[in-house]
Structure 1
Amino acid sequence: MLVYRITKAIYADRLVASGGAARWNSRGQFVIYTAATRALACLENVVHRSGEGLLESFRVMVIEVPDELFIETIAADSLPADWFTFQQYDTCQRIGGEWLRSGRSAVLGVPSAIIANEWNYLLNPAHLSFSQIQLVRTEPFLFAPRIKS
């Protein structure tokens, strides 16, 4: 399976996690966020960057997750009805933190909080199977100037 991450060009040459807090991890927990499509990766950037800095130099990271690698998934219907709201960040962070601590898989599929029935994939760089996940290539990416937050 191929997954995608759009990032500033200076960070696109390797698979690393910042440890910054996000929906599915608390600060200090290292997770790499990817998306099932380039389009979803684009929307994630637009939403999280609030339209700021989109004219900088970006790349699409094309990442291969081997088909034989176990992917744990979290179904949206197993979450609170308002899981996608900012008020539920702590709930999602607890779930993601538990996944990281458990070591059950190198990849966690989570529902997109932006588009229903779309998926993001979290990569755990500390997992033993993470070395099987490969950055295949990077591609230039330009946000259309008409995109605004």
Structure 2
Amino acid sequence: MQPSVNRLYRIQSDSHRDTILDGIGAQLRGGRWNRKGRPMIYTATTPELCFLEYIVHLEGTPLADLPPLILCEIKIPDNAITFLRTDQLPVGWNDPEVTPAGLAQFTDAQFRQHGTLCLALPSDVVPLSPSRNVLIDPLHPLRAECQIIRIESYPIDPRLPTA
């Protein structure tokens, strides 16, 4: 049985605060779980996992050089998440060096199959964590019921490497 989750977290630059629930960045650039042109909102069940997922994609940018970041807390409708186990994911989903071409198609198929607002996936950054990455489909009708309930500046601890 999966936990009931109705709060998700997202870390992003403050300059895009007005598009938190639109998935525009993923739409413009594509992502691990979505093709370019398909909006997607990348979130997690904990702020810590959000931060780890954010920093693994910095491509060498020192933490101290990042623009101001914000932590967004998002309330979603009850029972709006479909949890997927590792054995339900395509082979190679967790290879950090390669984004398998089929992941975006897999995600679209899962959203269609389950008719769900959100898909929860294990993290390839911390695969043994009970925290989950959660993809929100901004094209789903329930997206209108999502609410941003808190936005805070996200300070980066100067003790972190490269901070």
- For normalisation by structure 1, the TM-score amounts to 0.87
Aligned length: 148
- Structure number with the higher strand fraction is 1
Distance (whole Å) between structure 2 residues aligned to residue 53 and residue 7 of structure 1: 16
Look up the SS of the partner of 1:48 in the other structure: coil
Aligned pairs (5 A) from 1:108-147 = 108-116=119-127, 117=129, 118-145=131-158, 146-147=160-161
Structure 1 residue identity aligned to 2:139: A
Aligned residue number for residue 44 of structure 1? 53
Please give the alpha-carbon distance, in whole angstroms, between the structure 1 residues aligned to 2:154 and 2:52. 13
Higher alpha-carbon deviation: 111-120 or 100-109 = 100-109
* Structure 2 alignment gaps of length 5 or more: 1-5
* C-alpha contact 2:74 2:146 (8 A) present in aligned 1: yes
Deviation at 1:101, TM superposition (A): 5.0
CA RMSD of aligned residues (A): 2.2
Work out the CA distance in 1 between the residues paired with 2:107 and 2:161.
30
> Does 2:38 align with 1:25?
no
Range 117-126 or range 86-95, more displaced = 86-95
Aligned residue among 85, 89, 93 for 2:100: 89
Give the structure-2-normalised TM-score: 0.80
* Helix, strand or coil at the partner of 1:94: helix
RCO (CA 8 Å, sep 6+): is it higher in 1 or 2? Answer: 1
Counterpart of 1:143 in 2: which secondary structure? coil
SS at match of 1:87: coil
- Distance 1:26-1:6 versus aligned 2 partners, 3 A rule: same
CA shift in 2, pair 1:123/1:64, >3 Å: same
Tell me if structure 2 keeps the 8 A contact 1:24–1:89.
no
CA contact (8 A) 1:51 1:147 kept: no
* d(CA) in 2 for partners of 1:43, 1:3: 15
Deviation at 1:112, TM superposition (A): 0.9
